[in-house]
Chain A
Amino acid sequence: MSATILSWSLLIAQILLGVAMAIASFRMIRGPRAQDRILALDALYVNAMLLLLVFGIRTGSTLYFEAALVISLLGFIATLALAKFVMRGEIIE
């Protein structure tokens, strides 16, 4: 009983998060400006982290938690560096 409930709800959650990632990728490709792309990349990172956590619940393994932590760290640093670059690139121009 509980296995059925969980497997269905986790499947739905995974599909929803997949849709969210697809939309973020679309916004990243579409732009129109650099800051939109960076914002979409940040959202993509957060969604990927959440998807990993849902995978963790599905498999019952805490291993995915560490991957999620690393992804959220990397996403933060990447977004920060890109935002800084967007600002400084204009100064040099």
Chain B
Amino acid sequence: MTQAADLPVWAALLTSFLVLLGAGFTVVGAIGLLRLKTFYERMHAPTLGATWGTAGILLGSIVFFSVLQSRPVLHEVLIAVFVTVTTPVTLMLLARAALYRDRSEGSTEVPPPVGTDGAAKPGGQV
């Protein structure tokens, strides 16, 4: 924490706010992972950490290093782009895997494939 003493107070406050906001959303997402009941409900919880949890901490990091080095430090944007593109892909693949497993076990909690005529009615509720 040696360099942080050179930081103006407004930048320190802004960084703190953004980092705490990000960490707060992430921990709420983790609590959701614990509290929600079915897999499909739990699937929504980590997106909190992957969207504004990540965004908050990355913005805090950008503010901190940009003010500290007196030039725009933007390489955190790379992580933001990367997480934005990859998280939906993993979640979609995981959802499809779970759906496939549930269907092959004959679970009644999941709707039939959307392509068949049996799914012409709006999906069943869990």
Contacts and interface: CB of A to CB of B under 8 A. Distances in A.
Size bracket, chain A contacts: 35 or more
Nearest to A65: B75
B23 interface: yes
Interface string A1-30: 111011111101110110111011011000
Interface of B: 1-5, 7-9, 11-13, 15-17, 19-20, 22-24, 26-27, 29-31, 33-34, 39, 42-43, 45-46, 49-50, 53-54, 57-58, 60-61, 64-65, 68, 73, 75-76, 78-79, 82-83, 86-87, 89-91, 93-94, 96-98, 100-101, 104
A20 B29 contact: yes
Nearest to B104: A90
A38 to B, nearest CB: 6
Interface in A42-93: 42-43, 46-47, 49-50, 53-54, 56-60, 62, 65, 68-69, 72-73, 76, 79-80, 83-84, 86-87, 90
23 contacts: A2-B7, A2-B8, A3-B1, A16-B24, A20-B26, A23-B31, A26-B34, A27-B34, A33-B39, A33-B98, A35-B97, A42-B46, A46-B46, A57-B61, A60-B3, A62-B65, A62-B75, A65-B76, A69-B78, A76-B82, A76-B86, A76-B90, A87-B96
A19 B78 CA distance: 26
A31 to B, nearest CB: 10
B34 A54 contact: no
A91 to B, nearest CB: 9
User: Interface residues of A: mostly helix, strand, loop or mixed?
Assistant: helix
A7 B7 CA distance: 12
Contacts of B20: 9, 12-13, 16
Contacts of B98: 33, 35, 86
A68 B65 CA distance: 16
- The list of the 4 closest CB pairs from A to B, nearest first, reads A9-B16, A2-B12, A20-B30, A13-B23
